[in-house]
Structure 1
Amino acid sequence: MIRLFSMMSENYVIDTKLGKIRGKLASNYLGVKYYSFQGIPYARAPVGSLRFKAPLPAEAWNGVLDGTKEGPACPSFLLFDWVIGNEDNCLNLNVYIKELPKNGVPLKPVMVWIHGGGFTRGSNSSKLNGPGYLMTEDVILVTINYRLGVLGFICLEDEHLGVTGNAGLKDQVMALKWVRENIISFGGDPNNVTVFGQSAGGASVHFLTLSPLAKGLFHKVIIQSGSALNSWASGVRGVKHICEYMKTEENDEFKILNILQNMTVKELLSIQKNIPDRILAGFQRFFAPVVEKPSKDAFIYEEPEHLLKSGNYNKVPIIIGTTSNEAVFHRGARVFEGLRWSFDCKLEIPLDLRKELSEKEEAEVVEKICNFYKLPADVCEESSFELKSDNLFVHGCHRSMNYHIETNNNPIFCYKFSFEGSMNHFKNISLAHYPRTYILCMYLATMLGTGFMRSMLMKIAYSVGFKEISGSAHGDELSYLFGSIFSRQMEPNSSEENIMKRLVKLWTNFAKHSNPTPENNEDELGIRWIPIEQNKHHYLDIGDELTMKMNPFSERNKFWNDIYDEYSKK
């Protein structure tokens, strides 16, 4: 039964199981009103003795919670040593609804968004994940925070200390439990929940399908440019690397935990920043998901590939795909971090495969990579984009999809996002001659500029010059799902508005019907999205038009399939 709401002086109050929440009116990109409830705690503050540990459910509150302002982000470094967010109340979520709930009105499909950021950055902020596009459709949108980096993914070997890893992923499970218990108060259907995410958010969604802790908490998933089989989605157990940085030979994990729990957030993030990602034997983050020791509280205690092969996971309908040129964003990330361009073909061998190779086999694989990708002796960054796209994103998603075909009887829809438009902001950032200038001007145009000032700032942003490289970069589809500080005014009937409407319609159709192009909507979209079959990898090319094609990146995926078949010993 839906709990009643009250309206007083433009305040909108909804009564949940934990207490009352006051929201506010907001407007979608067309100026149509929707309702916003922000900063809602779904777990207790992970501070003191709770730092690094699995989350505990939020406690009930007295009075009316102010949900008219966003809650804090989980701590991370934004730029240089600038810490954003805080631990207190960072485990919060936002709920956006088109209309207030009423008895007798059917419950709405729920979409839960998990942000990306390499497990080290990001938040549910509406400045980056604005609901203004999705709120044109009759769904409920939930956006969540979860702990990042060392705070969310440190893993101790002594399970008695309660820091077994994956706290950030367990936060996501706790948020989904909150949705199951409370979303009906907002008019949402707890039995029709779609979880979707991009990059680390996409990998998180994939991990949720593999986790016994998440069983029954969702009913469909959309996995965008991320997979549990991507090497960067694999973390490191133990704290030896932390001890090396701290220059301590202490091997008592109890004492180490006590030291870490008493550090400031900035001190902890400095440790994280100064322990570089492991690029030897493939790109790997130290603070990322790990396989835990078996227990009833473990998020995941078998290797993802084993779970996918066995079919021992949460089987639901899936949308999965990538952009057409993922690694363009690699250039932007490198420039943004102040890193010089370098290339070593040995480090382009995926982590899980390279661990198994002898020195002779490694040399053979390097030669095959160079020949297949036609890499020149003086490899430039642009000539490595296809290779890096495959190893960072494409082939991991492809392998995952192949396993799901074998063991999941639900429909699986594959896509490639190839649209190139003025709102492909990740590509713009990556290819701008002065990326920081572009970001600063876009930010100021949105936050400070109005009228003439906004126009001038936008003009400056687009005058910095861009490299000419084809394809859609990692994250570019987000500009057409969410409004953000980088969003430009949507020109009516422009190609950007058209692709936004199509993408929003496909994603919300899937949330409503488990099918992105149900029969009664085929004419509206002009296409029927065919799910993949064994040996028939249909995919939807989301470009200037929607087009069904076969076998995305077919030659490149076949190359890596053959490499794995020949050299993998597992």
Structure 2
Amino acid sequence: MKNPVIATKFGKVKGKVGTDYLGGKYYSFQGIPYAKAPIGNLRFKAPQKLEPWTEEFNATKEGPSCPSSHIFFMTYTGKEDNCLNLNVYIKQLPNSNSSPIPVMVWIHGGCFTTGSNSTDMYNPKFLMTENVIQVIINYRLGIFGFLCLEDENLGVTGNAGLKDQVMALEWVKENISSFGGDPNNVTIYGQSSGAASAHYLMLSPKTKGLFHKVIFQSGSVFSPWARGQRGAEEIMKYLGIKEDNDETILDILQKMSARKLVAAQSKLPELMLAGQHRYFGPIIEKPSEDAFLSEDPSKIIESGNYNKVPMIIGATSNEGIFYDMFKKLRKINLPFDCNMEVPFELNILPKTKSYEHLREKINKFYKLDEEIHNEKQCELKSDNLFIHGIHRTVNYHLNTNSQPIYYYMFSFHGDLNYSKKFATVKSPKSFFTCCYLSASFKHTLLKKTFGKIARNMSFHEISGSCHADDLGYLFDSIISIHVKPNSREDKMIKSMVKLWTNFAKYGNPTPQHLEEENEILWYPVDQKHHHFLDIGDKLIMKMNPFEARNKFWDEMYDMIENRI
């Protein structure tokens, strides 16, 4: 078939044809720029509006990622020129008789420092079995997206990466109708820092009317790793440069190679600890007309002055297993230290009476002194990095958001739980190689052979689903092994896709008019009960996930707040 061409407001784009999970056809338009290249004196600053082009843009191949360390190999990847790009995937070409199609905009995770919109990680072939348009965006990461300087006249006020996301949503608003999409039915969704980004977008005054539903997978603004600081001084130290004048600092950093900046950033001691501030991440800006966010998130939610839209929010059943994967990828070999597990946002100084009291309570509740194995450590990591922040998010929004909030826990364990496999496999490199070869070979026998080797490798036993395990059932990737029809994994892919796309279409993951298709009715939380959907081998409605653990942390926060 001839390559499809669509005329956007910035110019024509040429795409290609793809094949979805069930063998159907869809159309792909990749690497489309949505803002000017953030190079030269635009580095670190808010994105600038794109200029239209006259030649047909070749959108048959992916654009570059933004400069960062590779999410698996930790090597330098990306480039700044045209890194502010997005991919659009549609089920059918638009025509004058077709109704506008719901749109889903994916924001990738990666600790605000790594990741991209590449099909290596986010191939949409599962989601494209449903008639929902998928848009997958890039945004600036690390120092490039979150540098903040005190001198406001320099225009480096922070949150450039989040402002990139706003401009991508503005592009969707202006252009998605050209692809047959409905600009008045847009769902933003993301996982980990992508989920936290979606939450920040929900609270920003800059995003009114740009989206109409949100999905938060394993992250929110109340995750301790979702808050950054003004890290210029620290990065200069690792670059070996002594300078305290903001104008000079900006000049030095804008002239420096992206590769050198990424190398310096990789040396910063960011260890995914609740007691540690992120060096480069979202911040509260000083009030101004251009500020993305200039007030504390909790105060914004309490005021009710934000984008009130239907929500899906949830976590995996054992998020904390991810810390083992994090350490393996970064070759970190540090002993567990309970002193770094007291959330920094509690604002308690180390070695004070309150700090020691809380640390002792944490030790006792999680029985850390009694158990050398990391099961309880994983529970603690799950709670103070992910679970309790999500619990607080639900509670905060229940008070001010009249729209439905659908809560879930992903507990399914299968062959596509790649994050847990990386965290627990005894030979990560061999596992990755076999998965990659299984995905790469077109010959069915070779696919199955390397997939079987990967499945039969030696793994450490630990219960629950890890942080990011849900991604394997929404997106295909370079490490996705062959899925057998009617297998547990096949059924979970179809369940996740149906729930997520139903929400995008109707604002309800199990709408009443599709009662015959629904495996179960997923109903939202209310003031008395946190109803949630346990997404496992069966879909089961339950109440109050992680109840005792969330209650413990609620009491700790109350105790510190009241200084008991």
Give the shorter-chain TM-score range: over 0.9
Q: How does 1:72-151 map to 2 (within 5 A)?
A: 72-78=64-70, 82-151=75-144
Match for residue 21 of structure 2 among 5, 12, 29: 29
Letter in 1 for 2:99: P
What do the CA deviations read for 1:84-109 (whole angstroms, capped 9, x no partner)? 11111010000001000010211000
Partner of 1:331: 324
Letter in 2 for 1:537: H
Letter in 1 for 2:242: E
Once residues 57 and 373 of structure 1 are traced to their aligned partners in structure 2, the CA distance between those partners, rounded to angstroms, is: 51
**What number of residue pairs does the alignment pair up?**
562
Partner of 1:271: 264
Deviates more, 1:73-82 or 1:346-355: 73-82
Does 1:291 find its partner at 2:281? no
Match for residue 256 of structure 1 among 218, 237, 249: 249
Q: CA contact under 8 A between 1:283 and 1:351: conserved in structure 2?
A: yes
Where 1:523 maps in the other structure, the secondary structure is coil
Partner of 1:38: 30
RMSD of equivalent CA atoms: 1.6
Q: CA contact under 8 A between 2:520 and 2:539: conserved in structure 1?
A: yes
What do the CA deviations read for 1:344-389 (whole angstroms, capped 9, x no partner)? 1121111101436771011111111111112225643333011100
Does 1:65 find its partner at 2:57? yes
Partner of 2:149: 156
What do the CA deviations read for 1:508-549 (whole angstroms, capped 9, x no partner)? 111111111110123312211111011211011111111111
Once residues 503 and 340 of structure 1 are traced to their aligned partners in structure 2, the CA distance between those partners, rounded to angstroms, is: 36
Once residues 387 and 81 of structure 1 are traced to their aligned partners in structure 2, the CA distance between those partners, rounded to angstroms, is: 27
Once residues 310 and 238 of structure 1 are traced to their aligned partners in structure 2, the CA distance between those partners, rounded to angstroms, is: 30
Letter in 1 for 2:48: L
Once residues 96 and 29 of structure 1 are traced to their aligned partners in structure 2, the CA distance between those partners, rounded to angstroms, is: 14
Q: CA contact under 8 A between 1:336 and 1:436: conserved in structure 2?
A: no
Judging changes above 3 Å, is the alpha-carbon distance between structure 1 residues 496 and 378 closer, same or farther for their aligned structure 2 residues?
Answer: closer
Once residues 140 and 124 of structure 2 are traced to their aligned partners in structure 1, the CA distance between those partners, rounded to angstroms, is: 22
Judging changes above 3 Å, is the alpha-carbon distance between structure 1 residues 281 and 220 closer, same or farther for their aligned structure 2 residues?
Answer: closer
Offset at residue 247 of structure 1 (A)? 3.6
Match for residue 421 of structure 1 among 414, 419, 442: 414
Q: CA contact under 8 A between 1:343 and 1:379: conserved in structure 2?
A: no
Once residues 465 and 413 of structure 1 are traced to their aligned partners in structure 2, the CA distance between those partners, rounded to angstroms, is: 37
Where 2:382 maps in the other structure, the secondary structure is helix
Once residues 460 and 210 of structure 1 are traced to their aligned partners in structure 2, the CA distance between those partners, rounded to angstroms, is: 46
Judging changes above 3 Å, is the alpha-carbon distance between structure 1 residues 176 and 492 closer, same or farther for their aligned structure 2 residues?
Answer: same
Where 1:286 maps in the other structure, the secondary structure is coil
Where 2:319 maps in the other structure, the secondary structure is coil
Deviates more, 1:237-246 or 1:336-345: 237-246
Partner of 1:3: none
Q: How does 1:198-237 map to 2 (within 5 A)?
A: 198-237=191-230
Does 1:498 find its partner at 2:491? yes
Q: CA contact under 8 A between 1:27 and 1:33: conserved in structure 2?
A: yes
Partner of 1:11: 3
Judging changes above 3 Å, is the alpha-carbon distance between structure 1 residues 120 and 281 closer, same or farther for their aligned structure 2 residues?
Answer: closer
Once residues 89 and 297 of structure 2 are traced to their aligned partners in structure 1, the CA distance between those partners, rounded to angstroms, is: 33
Q: CA contact under 8 A between 1:231 and 1:350: conserved in structure 2?
A: yes
Where 1:525 maps in the other structure, the secondary structure is coil
Does 1:245 find its partner at 2:238? yes
Deviates more, 1:462-471 or 1:168-177: 462-471
Deviates more, 1:63-72 or 1:371-380: 371-380
Deviates more, 1:282-291 or 1:158-167: 282-291
Letter in 1 for 2:52: A
Match for residue 191 of structure 1 among 184, 193, 197: 184
Q: CA contact under 8 A between 2:225 and 2:274: conserved in structure 1?
A: no
TM-score by length of 2: 0.97
Once residues 321 and 273 of structure 2 are traced to their aligned partners in structure 1, the CA distance between those partners, rounded to angstroms, is: 22
Once residues 279 and 40 of structure 1 are traced to their aligned partners in structure 2, the CA distance between those partners, rounded to angstroms, is: 33
Q: CA contact under 8 A between 1:336 and 1:435: conserved in structure 2?
A: no
Once residues 525 and 452 of structure 2 are traced to their aligned partners in structure 1, the CA distance between those partners, rounded to angstroms, is: 43
Letter in 1 for 2:338: C
Partner of 2:160: 167
Match for residue 346 of structure 1 among 327, 339, 342: 339
Offset at residue 483 of structure 1 (A)? 0.8
Match for residue 405 of structure 1 among 398, 411, 414: 398
Q: CA contact under 8 A between 1:502 and 1:525: conserved in structure 2?
A: no
Judging changes above 3 Å, is the alpha-carbon distance between structure 1 residues 101 and 527 closer, same or farther for their aligned structure 2 residues?
Answer: same
Gap runs ≥5 in structure 2: none
Judging changes above 3 Å, is the alpha-carbon distance between structure 1 residues 355 and 304 closer, same or farther for their aligned structure 2 residues?
Answer: farther
Offset at residue 462 of structure 1 (A)? 2.8
Partner of 2:44: 52
Once residues 555 and 74 of structure 2 are traced to their aligned partners in structure 1, the CA distance between those partners, rounded to angstroms, is: 44
Letter in 1 for 2:547: S
Once residues 161 and 551 of structure 1 are traced to their aligned partners in structure 2, the CA distance between those partners, rounded to angstroms, is: 48
Once residues 80 and 14 of structure 1 are traced to their aligned partners in structure 2, the CA distance between those partners, rounded to angstroms, is: 36
Once residues 279 and 133 of structure 1 are traced to their aligned partners in structure 2, the CA distance between those partners, rounded to angstroms, is: 31
TM-score by length of 1: 0.96
Where 1:196 maps in the other structure, the secondary structure is strand
Match for residue 451 of structure 2 among 437, 458, 475: 458
Offset at residue 190 of structure 1 (A)? 0.2
Partner of 1:5: none
Partner of 2:297: 304
What do the CA deviations read for 1:243-267 (whole angstroms, capped 9, x no partner)? 3223433211001000000001111
Q: Percent identity?
A: 54
Once residues 285 and 278 of structure 1 are traced to their aligned partners in structure 2, the CA distance between those partners, rounded to angstroms, is: 9
Once residues 237 and 480 of structure 2 are traced to their aligned partners in structure 1, the CA distance between those partners, rounded to angstroms, is: 43
